[in-house]
């Protein structure tokens, strides 16, 4: 389903390489496009536990986890039987849906780490916005990603919650992506160190849904979205995505929207109008990337389903102060819609602070309505403007 500009908007940005394009590869079982030994199942409302147990027994499934709020079960099955078991569960009248547990991924395109330092802040008029509001520590931005460096000089004091949904042993960021995203959204600002964050005084929730290789099951992402919404995240940043549609992921997005959260998600970096999820869903803001001239970044996805754009080329931000997969320490530049997304998430946090009592629908509408013109896209979308958004 296509999003329409008259509908309330949510914004997404994805840290993806221009060549790989998608955060989640559409591939065969052997390529691990989904978990090889588990699927996601939701039963029709009112289905008894006895009936559920009988169906699981019939298909050789075992419930190993569940996602509260959206009533989706994570079901362990024999390895490499995903297609067969999904078909089997879908054939049961008591099953609302069954699907593979797809994989979402963060993919980066690093370049000169000291080039174009924070040009995006000036472009979106963040300093002018801070003259009106410097945000509030009561407004929480949930970063659903590879984790956040736990003792970074520009981030540690901002982290008010840590939650790990992956199989990694640590909530810390061993990959590098999540720390970079978190710094754009809300690094400690005006402290005489490092970089500034769009959200200024906003707090950060570290919700680890991608593992130390930058990949994560959809069930982890959905669980993170529900948890963030249940724990007071006004803004949920999703600099990740996959090319496969998912009822589980959509239900999680809708659940968080119903809880009052603004969800901002990356549109992807494959220079295509093909959808990326969860950005494509109605209740998330899909964010494309622009360069310093407000033109479409060469790698950015586009199309009628994309809601807004934000700076995404050579974006300077925090990096882990320890060894990480990306390989940049402390501070550096990365490109991608993953970098665009936290610009929008930070603006959403500023609007929540400037407009107490506003709903997520009002915040989303304000952000899109106040955006500046861009060029190079096939449809008219604006580039986020923090100053205009908080007025």
Q: Cα separation of 175 and 164, whole Å?
A: 14
- pLDDT score at 308: 98
Map tokens 């665009």 to a residue: 340
Q: Strands 140-145, 159-164: parallel, antiparallel or unpaired by DSSP?
A: unpaired
- What CATH code would you report for 30-103? 3.30.70.80
- Known catalytic residue at 338: yes
Catalytic option among 203, 239, 244, 338: 338
Split at pLDDT 50, 70, 90, the class of 33 is confident
Q: Cα separation of 332 and 330, whole Å?
A: 7
20-51: b or e for each residue (b if 16 or more CB lie within 10 Å)?
bbbbbbeeeeeeebbbbbbbbbbbeeebeeee
- pLDDT score at 190: 86
pLDDT in tens, 298-318: 999 999 999 999 999 999 999
- Kindly state the percentage of the chain with pLDDT values over 70: 89
**Domain limits, the chain:** 30-103, 109-390
Catalytic option among 101, 145, 172, 291: 145
Sign of CA dihedral 148, 213, 27, 377: positive
- Known catalytic residue at 177: yes
Mean of the pLDDT values across residues 49-71?
96
Split at pLDDT 50, 70, 90, the class of 204 is very high
pLDDT in tens, 260-281: 999 999 999 999 999 999 999 9
Q: Which two tokens stand for residue 201?
A: 């005084």
- What CATH code would you report for 109-390? 3.40.50.200
> For the chain, what is the mean pLDDT?
89
Split at pLDDT 50, 70, 90, the class of 113 is very low
- pLDDT score at 105: 75
Split at pLDDT 50, 70, 90, the class of 30 is very low
Catalytic option among 56, 59, 152, 177: 177
Residue 333, pLDDT > 60, answer yes
């Amino acid at each position: 389903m296509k999003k329409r500009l008259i509908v309330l908007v949510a914004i997404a940005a994805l840290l993806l390489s221009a060549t790989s394009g998608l955060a989640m590869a559409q591939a065969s079982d052997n390529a691990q496009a989904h978990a090889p030994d588990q699927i996601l199942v939701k039963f029709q409302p009112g289905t008894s536990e006895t009936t559920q147990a009988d169906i699981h027994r019939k298909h050789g499934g075992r419930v190993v986890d569940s996602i509260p709020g959206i009533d989706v079960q994570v079901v362990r099955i024999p390895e490499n039987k995903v297609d067969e078991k999904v078909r089997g569960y879908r054939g049961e009248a008591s099953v609302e849906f069954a699907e593979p547990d797809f994989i979402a991924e963060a993919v980066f395109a690093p370049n000169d780490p000291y080039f174009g330092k924070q040009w995006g802040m000036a472009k979106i008029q963040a300093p002018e916005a801070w003259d009106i509001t410097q945000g509030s520590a009561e407004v929480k931005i949930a970063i659903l990603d590879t984790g956040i460096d736990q003792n970074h000089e520009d981030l540690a004091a901002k982290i008010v919650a840590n939650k790990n949904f992956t199989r990694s042993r640590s909530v810390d960021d061993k990959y590098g992506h999540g720390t970079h995203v978190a710094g754009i959204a809300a690094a400690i600002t005006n402290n005489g160190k490092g970089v500034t964050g769009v959200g200024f005084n906003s707090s950060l929730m570290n919700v680890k849904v991608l593992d130390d290789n930058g990949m994560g099951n959809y069930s982890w992402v959905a669980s993170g979205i529900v948890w963030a919404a249940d724990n007071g995240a006004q803004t949920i940043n999703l600099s990740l995505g996959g090319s496969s549609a998912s009822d589980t992921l959509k239900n999680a997005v809708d659940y968080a929207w119903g809880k009052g959260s603004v969800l901002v998600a990356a549109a992807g970096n494959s220079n295509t109008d093909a959808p990326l999820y969860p950005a494509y869903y109605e209740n998330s803001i899909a964010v494309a990337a622009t360069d310093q001239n407000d033109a479409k970044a060469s790698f950015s996805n586009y199309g009628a389903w994309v809601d807004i754009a934000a700076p995404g080329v050579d974006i300077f931000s925090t990096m882990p102060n320890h060894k990480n997969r990306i390989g940049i320490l402390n501070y550096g530049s990365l490109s991608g819609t993953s970098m665009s997304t936290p610009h929008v998430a930070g603006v959403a946090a500023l609007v929540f602070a400037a407009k107490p009592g506003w709903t997520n629908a009002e915040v989303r509408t304000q952000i899109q309505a106040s955006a500046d013109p861009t060029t190079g896209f096939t449809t008219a979308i604006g580039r986020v403007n923090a100053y205009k958004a908080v007025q």
